[in-house]
Structure 1
């Protein structure tokens, strides 16, 4: 997962203090975020001010081109076709049929998360959809083995957007970071210049709260 931020240094300060991340510059111009020396995310400078300031989750694939063809056939869109990202891998930007944006990642030297499911790392991604049946069909067909196959360990769920957000909120995927103490983490977000967008609420996968960082990028904090 990665965040495109107007001010990269401000982003490093915010997430470094919130999650205890350290950072490593990459030849691609991005910054790798590390937790205890293992990769957990990346930050990049947003070069086009017209683009939103967001966290984007990437789904791993062995063949980004083939998966893009399947996404188009299933009613999604390809925003940016698969392209090399240095020797780290190949990446593409796509949407589901309702317009929720996500990335594809075909690994090169960067396989993905070095740590997850522990404080300060990726914990879950939730799709907020208007038509949950369309979402079930689209994601189920594309990622059936990962979500439902033998030994699957899914970190993905979906719910109607109106259950948490205003009905006019566009469909989107929301990245969740694990925290040890949700109330303390919310106070830290505020101290660092962010804000609480949706206060704590119960889910089937834990207690979550939706926040924004000091540059407007939304994400969720999750306590299990």
Structure 2
């Protein structure tokens, strides 16, 4: 099992879904991925924050989007040792601090930053909540991927903020990059932090902004895509095979985009 109770600096650690309809999102993902949900906010709170669990382990959250006119989305959080220092590094590297840093009760301290190309990512300094307690198992977080039109600028920004580096590979006739963590200039053992997909070519709509994509592991990508349709969602990209596994891109019923991946058999 991919159980986790700690995340090192620079490791994606958590995801949450924000929309104007958290109950609708919770109903969808509870069936699609087998989650149970429980609201963690006080009854008089202006918004909801539904903790999603799988076999009793926290895997993600579903929340109320606090700002009007913001597209529903899955948000990626990266673990940092010091949220204030990481936010300052993001600003120095050309990014924009959109929110925080601020404390989230005793759970941790966070900030929301936008990279120079426009993708938004959250910084998480753990308190009592370190992040997802289960990963890389069906129904849990499996991968985080930056989709961007500025590969070189993204390499500089995320390298400065998280100490990441990239390795390139050929993928589907184009390029794909994997993020790795490095320390003090020397690469750590080859542990992938996530991916980066260049928005090259006409396949990418011109009005699609750079973003971080969330991937959840599933037992059967085709069955999950079919179930998504039954639950009122849509399949944006039909299941297809990759060296990493079989992938589908889904639109949930409240308007967010998410990917699922069926890992290769061991």
Q: TM-score, normalising length from structure 2?
A: 0.79
Q: Which moved more, 1:4-13 or 1:97-106?
A: 4-13
- The superposition leaves residues 172-215 of structure 1 with CA deviations (integer Å, 9 ceiling, x where unpaired) of 11000111101000001111111011223444533322111110
- Structure 1 residues not aligned, in runs of 5+: none
Gaps of 5+ in 2: 1-14, 43-47, 165-179
In the alignment, which residue of structure 2 is the partner of 1:7?
21
Aligned pairs (5 A) from 1:56-135: 56-135=75-154
- Report the more deviating stretch, 179-188 or 156-165: 156-165
TM-superposition CA deviations, 1:87-108 (whole Å, max 9, x none): 1111211111101011111111
Deviation at 1:152, TM superposition (A): 5.3
Q: How does 1:161-200 map to 2 (within 5 A)?
A: 161-162=199-200, 165-200=204-239
Q: Look up the match of 1:147.
A: 181
What CA distance in whole angstroms lies between the structure 2 residues aligned with 1:165 and 1:45? Answer: 28
- Tell which structure's C-alpha radius of gyration is larger: 2
What does residue 18 of structure 1 align with?
Answer: 32
Deviation at 1:168, TM superposition (A): 3.8
- CA distance in 2 between counterparts of 1:168 and 1:202 reads 27
SS of structure 2 residue aligned to 1:147: strand
How many pairs align? 224
> 1:133: Cα distance to partner?
1.4
Separation (CA, whole Å) in 2 of partners of 1:204 and 1:102 = 26
1:208 alignment partner, one of 227, 237, 247 = 247
For structure 1, which segment, 1-10 or 51-60, has the greater mean C-alpha deviation from structure 2 after superposition? 1-10
Q: Is the 8 A contact 2:145 2:212 kept in 1?
A: yes
- 8 A Cα contact 1:176 1:221, kept in partner: yes
Alpha-carbon distance in structure 1 between the residues aligned to 2:161 and 2:132: 21
Query: Any residues of structure 2 matched to 1:39-50 within 5 Å, and which?
Result: 39-50=58-69
- The answer to whether the 8 A contact 2:225-2:239 is kept is no
Which of 200-209 and 151-160 deviates more?
A: 200-209
